[in-house]
A and B are shown apart, each in its own frame.
Chain A
Amino acid sequence: MTPELGQLALILALLLALAQGILPILGAWRGNAALMALARPAAAGQAVFVGLAFAILAWAFLQSDFSVAYVANNSNLALPWYYRLAAVWGAHEGSMLLWVTILNVWTVALAAFSAQLPDAFRARVLGVLGLIGVGFLAFILFTSNPFARLLPVPADGADLNPLLQDPGMTFHPPVIYMGYVGFSVAFAFAIAGLLGGELEQAWVRWSRPWTNIAWGFLSAGIVAGSWWAYAELGWGGWWFWDPVENASFMPWLVGAALVHAQAVTEKRGSLRAWTILLSIFAFSLSLLGTFLVRSGVLTSVHAFASDPRRGLFILGFLVVVVGGSLLLYALRAPKVVGGKPFALVSRESAVLVGNLLLTTAAAMVLLGTLFPLIGDALHLGKISVGPPYFGFLFTLLMLPVVLLLPFGPFLRWGGSGGGAQLRSVLLRVSVAALACAIVAAFFADGRLKAVAGVAGAVWAGTGTLLYVYKRWREMPRGRRYPAEMAGMLLAHAGVGVFVIGVLLSESLSTTRDVRMAPGQTQSIGRYDFRFDGVAATRGPNWHAEQATVTVSEDGRTLATMHPQKRTYLRGQVQTESAIDPGIVRDLYVALGEPMDPQHLEGAWALRLYHKPFVRWIWGGGLLMMLGGFAAAADRRFRTKRQAGADETVPAGAQESHA
């Protein structure tokens, strides 16, 4: 009976979402306070029922209720309880439920912390979020019901995809959805602003912390996914430019642009239309990611069964949400040049150029991802677009961003003066980057990529440190680093750390596929890997051949590693690599096949990796995440302010756009 209750809960949630989506917006339009006041209780009610549905599905997994088809397909009796819980979002239906659940988390948080918003504005924001909820709940109920029954009830379920039986994969979906769905808040603010014609400067201040948090979560989710690919797939790679990865990366790039554009609009009143457009883009790309992954229009990698009905539904939803909001933008975007003027050399200009590069990068990723489809449409033949394309163009586009990065904080709003200071910063970062590049050249045997990585990272890092120092010297204690600035500094430092990680690990890594008999040693650089044979082992729902590999450096034992080749219940074979982590290098061993299948005690094929600085990649990503969170914590966003206290520009009061 309980699964039916789950479905009932979803139906009630859909009805409440309809109420939340329609009535408050009507109320705001008509000036009806009673209708507007419905927004918060409706949102709370929707959240209760969605939460209930989620809990019922989780309970079905924990109880191994195989009468529910989704449970039977993605779990079994031997699966440990924590992976049963993670299996809730291990496939299509449940992950959509997770999406809606997280949407409700965001909505409730917004409803709770929106006391300072004007009533009409809050009603519109919650209404827009309600409409998004309607779309997704209808999608679940009509095409992807997680509570569908299975008859006859099987004695045991299939299995959760073994690749997903990993801690990294357990956390990756909820975190990345927090990011995706979090952009819905900025989107709702933008739409509410367009609907009501409110002063953009005011709503941008309110929406900034939400955007920063969403972007921080998205960073964390991408880091988790990348880490999972690295640790679990056994290829030692951390990014493949696969359509599914690109789907999460596009909103991240646009989100990074949005975080900066919002700062400009909030503080200076400029770039209003652009900020609105970016808010729409960031969320639209999140939706687009969902579409790409689930519609099956690309040779994508996801296990999500592609079903044209689902694809059509999401496409229709995209048309309504994205098409509608872009049309609304065209009709109602601020037609005036608002805000304070700025000079060519100013922080506004720098942000604009950075925005241009980030959005171009997102457009490039979109084009590359969709090009095989364009090829089909225009009969250009089957074309593959892969890492060489994306890697090359992305590097070209990000190079100016890294070069510009140190100067951002030193540039002044509006751009008056400060030229001497900029020249001094330029001199210092150049000297530091050059000096470190020369030193690095000795260590890297002249490998250009490594030298460029060190130079780029030092360039960005020195600039950031110089600004830290300047604030330290000039400002009184306690006022040196407001949270918003600290966030910016953390994220910028993260860029430097990331650059080191990417370029050094790519240029200095060594990979070897070797054949090793027990007792044999193979070396990579200073590291000696001794193969000590293979033994059988087992876990809760798998058995495995487990190798022992002892790594030593100059005769000193560093680590004993145990790569495995697991066989899960349903016969799926899965490599479990062993990693010896370090700050400046990872050692990584993956176990292949026995050279002679009849002699497991004989020689095996192994893959050995030495990966310098690879962890800095995720370290950089985590610093960016922290930056997003820290900036959102700024007190400024919590204090109640008069709308547009900086410079109120009533719509239409200034010269109109040419």
Chain B
Amino acid sequence: MRAPLRLLCVLLLGLAGLAAAQAIDPLPFKDHAQEVRFQQLTSQLRCLVCQNENLADSNAGLARDLRHEVFEQMQQGKSDDEIKQYLVARYSDFVLYDPPLQAGTVLLWFGPLLVLLGGAVAVAVTIRRRSRRAVPATPTETGDDDW
């Protein structure tokens, strides 16, 4: 469902004919392990041109350039973190699909935990209240209705 934006994006950038097909980009990897590492890393980086695509999938010209840059840096022995830092320094945290934990993203990362804890308290209170009223076992309820 992300696709329509591709078209839109192609129109916006006036790159018609260049993009819209997908990014298939054979690169001379040292070995398969490096190829896998490359695929994993680029799939966690966001393309700035067609913004709902990752670098691995985007066929935008810039995405291709950035992929090649990532590839080059891998050949130079840079770590994933170093490569990410390189991109963040130029394009801001926006390129990271995995938002780093910072002051601004505390709510993002721990919000769900808060919801879970709040809900857990409510559930615990409910169960406690209801079980206190529990009558001794009534094993008579074995009707089909009551499976």
Contacts and interface: CB of A to CB of B under 8 A. Distances in A.
Is chain B in direct contact with chain A in the complex (CB below 8 A)? yes
Interface of A: 161, 163, 225, 228-229, 232-235, 237, 240, 242, 244-245, 267, 270, 299-303, 337, 341-344, 346, 348-349, 352-353, 356-357, 359-360, 363-364, 367-368, 371, 374-375, 378, 380-389, 393, 397, 409, 412-417, 471, 475, 479, 482, 485, 511-515, 565, 571-575, 590-593, 605-607, 636, 658
Given A575-B21, A590-B22, A363 B131 contact: no
Given A163-B7, A360-B115, A367-B111, A382 B93 contact: yes
Q: Which 8 A-B pairs have the closest CB atoms?
A: A386-B97, A592-B24, A303-B4, A416-B137, A388-B98, A380-B104, A364-B112, A341-B133
23 contacts: A161-B7, A163-B3, A300-B52, A302-B4, A341-B135, A342-B131, A343-B131, A356-B116, A364-B115, A383-B105, A384-B93, A389-B98, A397-B112, A412-B141, A414-B141, A417-B139, A471-B147, A479-B144, A511-B39, A513-B25, A571-B17, A575-B22, A636-B145
A356 B112 CA distance: 11
A162 to B, nearest CB: 8
Contacts of A303: 4-5, 7-8
Nearest to B133: A341
B16 interface: yes
B1 interface: yes
Given A382-B92, A414-B134, A415-B134, 12 more contacts: A163-B6, A267-B146, A270-B130, A299-B52, A301-B5, A302-B4, A381-B93, A385-B108, A397-B112, A416-B137, A605-B26, A606-B24
Contacts of A242: 1-2, 52
Interface string B107-146: 1110110011001100100110111111111110100111
B57 interface: yes
A363 B138 contact: no
Interface in B23-53: 23-27, 35, 39, 43-44, 46, 51-52
A356 B134 contact: no
Nearest to B2: A301
Q: Which of B16, B26, B145 has the most CB of A within 10 A?
A: B26
A412 B91 CA distance: 56
B89 to A, nearest CB: 14
Contacts of A300: 5, 52
A573 B23 CA distance: 13
Interface residues of B, number: 66
A389 B116 contact: no
Contacts of B26: 513-515, 605
Given A382-B93, A414-B141, A515-B26, A161 B4 contact: yes
Interface of B: 1-8, 16-17, 19-27, 35, 39, 43-44, 46, 51-52, 54, 57, 92-99, 104-105, 107-109, 111-112, 115-116, 119-120, 123, 126-127, 129-139, 141, 144-147
A360 B112 CA distance: 6
B135 A240 contact: no
Contacts of A225: 1
A387 B98 CA distance: 7
A386 B138 CA distance: 50
Given A337-B129, A381-B93, A573 B21 contact: yes
A413 B3 contact: no
Contact of B21 (A388, A571, A574): A574
Contact of A229 (B1, B4, B5, B135): B1
A381 B51 CA distance: 16
B91 to A, nearest CB: 10
A383 B3 contact: no
Contacts of A235: 22, 57
Given A363-B115, A605-B25, A386 B134 contact: no
Contact of B20 (A267, A413, A574): A574
Nearest to B35: A512
Contacts of B147: 409, 471, 482, 485
B134 A341 contact: yes
A382 B133 contact: no
Contacts of B24: 513, 590-593, 605-607
